[in-house]
Amino acid sequence: MAEIGRVRQNSYENYSEGQDRYARLNRRGELVVIDFFSQCIFDGRVFHLQIGTEDAPVNTTGTLDDTLGDLLWDNPVGHAAIPLFVEFVLADATTATTINGMIEIDRALARYSSGGTAYVPENLRTDRPRVAVGGAFYVGAPDITLAAKTAVPGSIELWRHSFTNDAVATETGSENRNAIFSARQTPFAVVVGVGSIAAQCGAATADATHYGAMSVIQLPVESVT
- pLDDT tens, residue by residue, 25-52: 888 888 888 999 999 999 999 999 999 9
Could you say which DSSP state residue 151 is in?
Answer: P
Do 20 and 59 lie in a common domain? no
Do 24 and 70 lie in a common domain? no
pLDDT at 140 over 90: no
User: Residue 40: helix, strand or coil by DSSP?
Assistant: helix
**Total residues found in the chain within this entry:** 225
Confidence label for 61 from pLDDT (cuts 50, 70 and 90): confident
**Cα 97 to Cα 206: distance, rounded to the nearest angstrom:** 7
Do 15 and 56 lie in a common domain? no
Asked if residue 39 belongs to a domain, the reply is: no
Asked if residue 185 belongs to a domain, the reply is: yes
Instruction: Calculate mean pLDDT across residues 119-147.
Output: 93
Do 127 and 159 lie in a common domain? yes
Asked if residue 94 belongs to a domain, the reply is: yes
pLDDT at 221 over 60: yes
Do 22 and 127 lie in a common domain? no
pLDDT at 96: 85
How many separate domains does the chain show? 2
**Cα 161 to Cα 179: distance, rounded to the nearest angstrom:** 6
pLDDT at 171 over 90: no
% the chain with pLDDT above 90: 62
Asked if residue 40 belongs to a domain, the reply is: no
Do 191 and 155 lie in a common domain? yes
Instruction: Calculate mean pLDDT across residues 193-204.
Output: 94
What is the rounded average pLDDT for all residues in the chain? Answer: 90
73 in Cβ contact with 205 (< 8 Å) = no
Structure confidence by residue, pLDDT tens digits, 17-26: 888 878 888 8
Angle in degrees, CA 161, 166, 169, rounded to 5: 120
Instruction: Calculate mean pLDDT across residues 112-126.
Output: 96
Confidence label for 176 from pLDDT (cuts 50, 70 and 90): low
Asked if residue 75 belongs to a domain, the reply is: yes
Instruction: Calculate mean pLDDT across residues 85-105.
Output: 90
pLDDT at 98: 87
Which residue in 195, 161, 182 sits closest to 64, CA to CA? 161
pLDDT at 118 over 80: yes
pLDDT at 1 over 60: no
Instruction: Calculate mean pLDDT across residues 94-117.
Output: 92
**Cα 63 to Cα 66: distance, rounded to the nearest angstrom:** 10
Which residue in 110, 137, 113, 109 sits closest to 123, CA to CA? 137
* Residue range of the domain that includes 58: 45-223
Instruction: Calculate mean pLDDT across residues 77-92.
Output: 94
Do 90 and 16 lie in a common domain? no
161 in Cβ contact with 200 (< 8 Å) = no
Q: pTM for this one?
A: 0.90
pLDDT at 123 over 80: yes
Which residue in 100, 92, 75, 52 sits closest to 189, CA to CA? 75
